[in-house]
Structure 1
């Protein structure tokens, strides 16, 4: 059932037979209404036509509840169907359609709508993925996994190499040495992001600059500063650095 039909049915249910008769009379032109009154008076002599100027004799009609009940019982349902309420409602479901078009107002769609979750790869997972691309033995891979597991949240390796060697020996029964561990660490330091696996800030900056060697002399000069004058650099002793390198401010 459309919105207009449903509203029409509700309005009709609220109209009494007297209201229906009144609405029908209001729709009749005055001339035709007077003609009908004359016809009723001719057919029913008991009716009398009131004269103008006798307002003091006019008394409001008192509705007899018994007659009203009889009228309601005898009233035909056809009277309800003759009322045109098209002026009060719009045909069709346009209003419902407009509602649905605004902000996707579909209850079922709202219930079934799922919120996509962003899948993020953790730092350790990223390291393990890159480790899987290396061509090394299974034993060396286990050693490299121990190194990756020893990295902190910032990607630094702050643990001593000797401590990692001990962990491998006691927990995984893997014998290794500092040389093998250092070689694997150099491979891990080539992973992304640049600087991962560094043991301090100086090494981290150097690893990042080494990825930019193709950018020419400025990068090479920066590497010299970090390698030879890192302490002066952190303390902002730039004049001392310039004198040591034999360059001026422009360079």
Structure 2
């Protein structure tokens, strides 16, 4: 093969660092964007947080400060006087010989710092509502219980086998095998059962149960003996839990020998029980949503505004930028590089805000019916519709609408929520899947509890409104909304 040199002219898209940075900022969520901005401020001396330096704003702020200073000082003086009077009134002239300072004067503390002995309304659940796990909560109670060393080893093995929902995940034989590895311990199955029954009396009620029936029975047994309908409730949970789960109330009334009114009262008592008691103790990670845009209505016009609090206003430090010509070549090069990076970063932020505003404004324009009338008026919309309207690529629209949230009078929604597929109607129009879900939820909310609507019946009712949807599609939408099937929705009025 002969080697040769050839010249060829072609065009190709190159991902420059500036373009990569703009795409990265565009797809960041609000919280991630704040972290990215803070990292840029820490690494680039040219960037600084902008402050309002206008004379009018400063004078107005000074006037406000001067107006607020005097009442604040006076209120502080009054508070100090009242505190001094409280001290003088709370301390008697003569103290008993064997008294302590804490016995006479109790310092003012916040409710969160009061101990359980000082607070009569102290709740074990509130004590454990921080980052404490269910195992920590059970071990804390175990340390307060009188047990032998052998029973404590068994109890620790049982606690370790409890799932976060409070259910015991291992059999008695497995727990026995785990503690029988120690040759110094001679443990039998009856001992494991005895310790298990003791742990089942711990808080929360129903913990360490091996199945749902045992979990409910533990909670019923901890109720006072004079609780109304306690005996029939225990009988139903013990012998007819399968009928209760299938909502076969006619068979349940025959088997338990109660009438309909009595069964209603028994079911009310059973519904007060918690099938997953560990959830009320296990810590939950709370995620906070910060809206990127606000949508408000002013005189029949929907206005879209960026959230001014999602990111600090940045600017280039003029003092450092002016040192470019005064420093040595090495320092000057360092300043120029950081200055260029700061300008790129600010331009990328501005581009992100402009793109977000364009997309959010078009979404509000398309989905004005939703803002006016609710989910049933949601129009079908796909990424291509917005991309064509704002003259951008669909991938850009996808990045903009991911993890970005809009605050509307109807609530906070992710921008992707407004996109949905469509179903053709008999009149030749289109209906969005979101509107169909809203109609399904509305029909189920208005159904007769004794005879819930089946998926086939919902399909027929929607067909009467001109919306042709298959039964399996109704089932898919219903499951997505976490609505049980008709046989599980059946209940006594």
> Normalising by structure 2, what TM-score?
0.27
Q: Hey, what does 1:141 align to over in structure 2? A: 152
Please give the alpha-carbon distance, in whole angstroms, between the structure 2 residues aligned to 1:161 and 1:148: 13
Cα offset, 1:162, TM superposition: 1.1
Please give the alpha-carbon distance, in whole angstroms, between the structure 2 residues aligned to 1:242 and 1:208: 23
Q: Which residue, out of 176, 180, 183, partners 2:187?
A: 176
Cα offset, 1:214, TM superposition: 3.3
Aligned pairs for 1:118-157 within 5 A: 119-157=130-168
Aligned pairs for 1:222-233 within 5 A: 222-233=233-244
Q: Hey, what does 1:186 align to over in structure 2? A: 197
Please give the alpha-carbon distance, in whole angstroms, between the structure 2 residues aligned to 1:209 and 1:126: 22
Aligned pairs for 1:201-212 within 5 A: 201-212=212-223
Please give the alpha-carbon distance, in whole angstroms, between the structure 2 residues aligned to 1:182 and 1:156: 15
Partner SS for 1:233: helix
Aligned pairs for 1:1-251 within 5 A: 96-98=65-67, 119-170=130-181, 174-251=185-262
Which structure 2 segments of 5+ residues have no match?
1-58, 71-111, 113-128, 263-493
Please give the alpha-carbon distance, in whole angstroms, between the structure 2 residues aligned to 1:152 and 1:120: 16
Please give the alpha-carbon distance, in whole angstroms, between the structure 2 residues aligned to 1:229 and 1:95: 71
User: Which protein has the larger Cα radius of gyration, Structure 1 or Structure 2?
Assistant: 1
Partner SS for 1:206: helix
The answer to which structure has the higher strand fraction is 2
The answer to which structure has the higher helix fraction is 1
Contact kept, 8 Å, 1:158 with 1:199, in 2: the verdict is: yes
Which structure 1 segments of 5+ residues have no match?
1-89, 102-115
Go from structure 1 to structure 2 and tell me whether the alpha carbon gap of 1:230 and 1:157 turns closer, same or farther (over 3 Å shift). Answer: same
Cα offset, 1:206, TM superposition: 0.9
Equivalenced residue count is 148
Cα offset, 1:128, TM superposition: 0.8
Please give the alpha-carbon distance, in whole angstroms, between the structure 2 residues aligned to 1:222 and 1:100: 65
Cα offset, 1:99, TM superposition: 7.4
Q: Hey, what does 1:28 align to over in structure 2? A: none
Partner SS for 2:229: helix
Larger relative contact order (Cα-Cα within 8 Å, sequence gap ≥ 6): 2
Go from structure 1 to structure 2 and tell me whether the alpha carbon gap of 1:95 and 1:163 turns closer, same or farther (over 3 Å shift). Answer: closer
- Taking only aligned residues, the RMSD between alpha carbons, in angstroms, comes to 3.1
Moved over 4 A (4+): 93-96, 98-101
Go from structure 1 to structure 2 and tell me whether the alpha carbon gap of 1:213 and 1:172 turns closer, same or farther (over 3 Å shift). Answer: farther
